[in-house]
Amino acid sequence: MSEMWDPVGVAVVGAGYWGPNLVRNFLACESTDLHWVCDTSLERAWNVVGRRSTVRATDRLDAVLEDTAVEAVAIATPVSTHGDLALAAIQAGKHVLVEKPLAASVQAGEVLVDEARRLGRVLMCDHTYCYTPSVAKLRALVHDGELGELHYVDSVRLNLGLVQADTDVFWDLAPHDLSILDFILPDGCIPDAVAAHGADPMGVGQACIGYLSMPLAGGAIAHSHVNWLSPTKIRTTVVGGSRRTVVWDDLHPSQRISIYDRGVELAGVLDPEEHRESQVSYRVGDIVAPALPEREALQGVVREFARSIRETRAPVTDGEAGLRVLRVLEAATRSLANGGALEPVAARV
């Protein structure tokens, strides 16, 4: 279905790993009109654009920012450059979509959020998984009370990944799980502290394997395991509640979501003087695998970006969502430096 407005003029900055995916989706979206691809390597930009394309390639950011046909800029560059590039685009009057994480620090992220608000520009973070049908279903199950009282969220994200010299596995992989957590949890249940443990068995100077533990309201807990060194790829999230448990397996396309009517029930309060077995019962019920549509999540991202611009509203994963993820990451970095101590997630002053 075509939108009832003119397409948003867009430029993509960064033609490396993620940039080509953005280019492809902006070109496929009827709500956007891609004008430029910008990269420090002009050859790389042309390779993404294609020699016969009407999209222009450049290695000059100012050429993009000076083009009045460009209303919005999508940034897919190294994390260390996100803050400066996004700020330049916002101050040039452009709406901005930033690849995760939003910036390299909370302070830089706050500058972006404040400047976008001051100038009335849309600032969106590319939390891609939040635009999948599976994660939308997870959110609905949690928010509609289908799972009952939340007990735990357990995420595993493993692969034989790209070991990076300028960032650790937490800042590389954990933003995915933290953005999902931020998206699916009800208000008032977001993590306010985190404990991080990491290992660098290869001696590269950065944690290549990591574990995050985050207490949640009501005695629940969230856990994330991220790993660059696994020979097998695993993308699984388990959300357990008092009534049901849901398992999301992103690598199982025929059954990404499974809802288990199984669990542990407690009769009264456990008394150490009594037999615990008599107070605990196990419920074994049905397993339901709802049919979900298959569509590319990034197409949902670019559509939401265009719609939020034309509808003059905050996108689903706005700058504030990006900031919440950054706050957990910074707390995790402090915890890692302090031997895994539980560190508070700083609130905005």
**Domain spans of the chain, in order of start:** 8-127+297-313, 130-295+329-344
d(CA 53, CA 50): 5
Closest alpha carbon to 53 in 77, 32, 27: 27
- Average pLDDT on 198-216 reads 94
2-38-101-68 Cα dihedral, nearest 10 degrees: -60
d(CA 76, CA 61): 13
The residue type found at 127 is H
CATH architecture of 8-127+297-313: 3-Layer(aba) Sandwich (3.40)
CB of 182 closer than 8 Å to CB of 250:
no
Tell me the per-residue pLDDT of 35-72, one tens digit each, with 9 for 90 and over: 999 999 999 999 999 877 899 999 999 999 999 999 99
From the CB of residue 122, how many other CB atoms can be counted at a distance below 10 Å? Answer: 27
Q: At what angle do helices 79-91 and 106-119 cross, to 10 degrees?
A: 20
Residue 99 token pair: 């690849």
Reported as half-sphere exposure (CB side, CA atoms, 13 A), residue 107 has a value of 1
On the question of pLDDT at 1 being above 50, the answer is no
Residue 294 token pair: 């298959």
Tell me the per-residue pLDDT of 227-239, one tens digit each, with 9 for 90 and over: 999 999 999 999 9
d(CA 322, CA 314): 12
SS3 for 134?
Answer: helix
Note whether 8-127+297-313 and 130-295+329-344 share their fold.
no
More confident residue, 112 or 276: 112
Partners of 157 in beta bridges: 226, 235
CB of 65 closer than 8 Å to CB of 94:
yes
On the question of pLDDT at 276 being above 60, the answer is no
Lowest-confidence region among 217-221, 265-269, 290-294: 265-269
Closest alpha carbon to 321 in 164, 143, 129, 138: 129
Pick the CATH number of 130-295+329-344 from 3.30.360.10, 3.90.950.10, 3.20.20.10, 3.40.50.360: 3.30.360.10
Lowest-confidence region among 49-53, 201-205, 232-236, 325-329: 49-53
Q: Torsions phi, psi of 20, nearest 5?
A: -60, -35
Partners of 223 in beta bridges: 154, 213
d(CA 167, CA 79): 9
The per-residue pLDDT of the chain, averaged, comes to 92
pLDDT at residue number 164: 77
Lowest-confidence region among 33-42, 43-52, 299-308, 332-341: 43-52
- Average pLDDT on 125-150 reads 96
Peptide bond into 344 cis (omega under 30): no
